Structure 1
Amino acid sequence: MVARATLDGVWDWDLSTDTVYYSPRWQYIAGLHESELSSTLKHWLDRVHSEDRPIVERELKTHLEGGSSRFRSEHRLRHGDGSWRWVVVRGLAQRSKASGPGRMAGSMMDVTNDKTSDPLTGLPNRLLLHDKLERLIQRAQREHAWNFAVLFIDVDHYKQINDRFGHLVGDVTLKAIAERLQMAIAGTRSSTESIVARFAGDEFVVLADGVESAAQAEAIAKRIHTALSHPILCGAEELSISVSIGIAMAKPELTSPESFLQHSDLAMYCAKSNGRGSYVTFDPSMQVETLARLELEADLRKALARNELRVFYQPQMNLRTKDLIGCEALIRWQHPTRGLLAPGEFVGVAEEMGIIASLDLWVMETACQQVKEWRAVPDARALTVSVNVSAQHLLQKDLKEAVKAVLNRHGLPPSALCLELTETVLMENLDAGNQLMQELRAIGVGLHMDDFGSGYSSFRQLSELPFDTLKIDRSFIERIAVNGQSRKVVDAISSMAHTMGLKVVGEGIEDRSQAELLASMDCDIGQGYFFAKPLDARSFYTKYLRKKGMHRSFAVSHGDQAVA
């Protein structure tokens, strides 16, 4: 949630030491260089306008004492050039029952250029939304009728649209979304107070008056999803759009526009976490989940600098010769308090934060450095390493140059590195992905389609892409020893892939019968717990390379230092 948009600056306050971390973006918004900053909260507050500072301090004190679910303040901040900038600051305190708040983190956005109308879409902007919402709250308090709702809307994968097609297409997309949102609620308005507003970046807010129940608000959310279900045409491009929606129903305890926006924003965030293209109505239990997520985001931003990330290696075996031929590099996070975390516990968060490409590159760099060392072992000179590539990374134009730079730094031939793309990632970015893959294949890098069979790609599509290896999804492998239909599917996939000149990997192999069946189907390579769980570099070297050569029989070892 912190700094979802690239316009946000990040701050992280340790109350026990009264030290504050200010991100480079925060420094840019404030017009300050790092050398001009003092790592205290007072340094920040001293730059707040004298008319606004008492309000900011009061709102901050209220939040720290538990009087508000989330901190939000809109005030003037003195820029480094001496001018005043309007900023919106959000934050959330981490509390313990024993000692109270010990940490608070959040974001800051510059809203100086906001007026009552958004210049791009023509919609009301956040300031007009604030005024309209305040009037509705006053009316509800006066008439004791809490019959309205706030829907907070965030466009899914909007950053990828900008990265892939440019900001011009991104702007056209936002204008088209604004028009469809207006059409979606046109038939639901029961007063002039209902509006669609552009909140910030790719975020919109619907203020729906005359809504008596959560069911009615959710019906509006469904209308919005229906309105956006048809592709948006931007010149020659046809874009499929989805949005995540958070709903906050009017209640007497919500006495300010900020409280409505906080609740609906929090619900939207939960909707995005549950699966894009969905909607969620606010529930108080979400605050606990969000606090944990906020803490995880703040920790993840610092994980690389603190050297907390690890790479583990899972062996890939030739099913005919039973030799080790390569490994897959898999990221882990040695969290300071939660222990060793598997990818499923933080990779999705990294994607939401927009830092997954940085993690991909770090894994690639670390794995290539390690494999270069291992290739010094006589029997391991042809050892390869596979690295996963995320959707965000696939869309970055400099991926090819980044790959070449990593290989050159470590003196590895391109054939030593294989990039794995999941079927789902590729199908969502087929055109851009194909072009980049052709460029990578031209320099000699291996390309593996991961989890084949889990999505909707076809062999026709596969034949048009420059893959050299296909990895059959584990959902087929786990049933081949007991299900004849699964065996036929795997055999057919393997046969067709070989006809196309592709090598075949069976992943998720857990026992001898699966390994032997795959070998009998001419599956080339095996990977899974039957051979070994992902191992740290030292354990991998000890098991496969030190004084043991490369040959391994189909035997299970239970004493490895490994993780799932």
Structure 2
Amino acid sequence: MTVGAFDWPTIGQPWTEGERLSDILSAAPLILYAMDLDGVVRMSTGGGLAQLGFTPGELVGRSVFDALTDDRLDSYHRRALTGEQFDVVLEYGERVYETRYAPVRTADGELAGSCGIAVEVTDQVAVQRSLRTLTDVDAVTQLHNRRATEIEVDRMLATGTKLALLLIDLDDFKDVNDTHGHVLGDLVLRHLGRRLRRTAPADALVGRMGGDELVVAVPLDKPDQIAQLAQQLLDVVAGPLQIDLPLALSDGPVDMTITASIGIAFAPRDGTGAGQLMTRADSAMYAAKRSGGATYCFYDNRIDGARRRLTMITRLRRAVADEALYPVFQPVRDLNDNRITGFEALARWHDPELGQVPPTDFIAIAERSPLIDDLFDSILRQSLEAAVTWYVERDGPGRQLAVNIAARQLRDPQLTDRIVTAADRIGHPIGLICAELTETAMMDDEETAHQTLAAMSEAGIGVYIDDFGVGYSNVARLTDLASAGILAGIKVDRRFIADPAEPRTTALLQLFRHMSETFGAEIVIEGIETDEHLEVARRMGYRLGQGWHLGRPVAADLARASIET
């Protein structure tokens, strides 16, 4: 963009460009300017000047350094005077501009100054920042999410920082969700997240690892100091809570008290990486729970959780072999007419000694071993047998049956054949089966995962991305799947509609819906638990939804009854 054969006009004299071009430039949403060697403005035009409070030509004759107070302008101007052409991003107040600088030369080739063109990109930058925030911030608590927490802990450890990691698990939190629903559960987590942030030292990292697990990482290595902090955190968590729920869910505020168990691990004594520290803190946390909860415990290799997990694996293996695990079915509904369009099959386990085991516990264990294959086959077969009696044998309308796929399974080249064989043997149409997998599952051995997903799609199995947007979003990966004709649908994670009054919620939900339209994929919004959630989803243009307000997970006979009513 180097300008040549240029002679400065006398300040105040009009330029020789035609009036029509001048009018066009004055209306265009950009800024064109030129400065002499001393930074005096010799030309300024463009509709973008109005956003800065100037009219075209108003700056002519003034020093740009006086008109726009920004120390960077002088260095950029001098950089252009060296003959370099370059691009920079400048922020003025709340506005952001992409600016291209270039030198200006006279007809003799002598440097006469610099010129530039600036285009406002405020909206684009806001969208990019929102997407970056999406990958780093937990939508419920506004704390660091798991990914961001682990990255930051690793960064702190890489600098040689000695720190303590406190893993906080809320005691009996499942009872809160079971009694009042996930809306209240999320509100409790949000309140407690704020309390922890206020109580933790200013230099501490506070994050949410998922579910009801929170974490505080603080650069301290003295056990007495950490013990004092741990007790303070336990006290602040246990403080009385009064939560206001929507009127549709409660007649008034809900009062409750929550306790927590804390496991503590030190770096570098107990580990030199985030993953290792989390594991050690997890072992200590379970030791605190076994002692009765509402307390803290330091990691000691004698209380390592390996023995506990081994016991769980043994019992789970026996339960899978005995088909003690069973599916429940949660409906997906058309938000316009409330019609059930399909069901998601969810695994459940009631152990004679352990009671009702949370899915997050036994599935996490199964996914780390080949046991996940046996568990999947059992739940798949039971689900297909139930579904075929609902509507296939009755010649009813086709409804999708969704089954969940773990990351480990995508490495199995026989996965598609196993699903097809099971469906053929039972007589369930393969075209009514869809596989749901999380975004993280796609990132594990991408090439093999892509081949497996392509095989499923070719066989007629719909591929859905579940829990979309929770921190591992990879739009390029989804674009590849859509371009290859593999991506059938996206299920937006429930936390994005958890707070409909949050402006960021609206922007992200609009973004996700437009993204699905671009991909040509079906989109389902999860977490609809109130009338307000339902109204927001409809207003945003979502057709399909899932959540407690639309139907809780139920046994096969109740699922069948819901179709017939």
Which TM-score bucket, shorter chain as reference?
0.3 to 0.5
Structure 2 length-normalised TM? 0.47
TM-score, length basis structure 1: 0.47
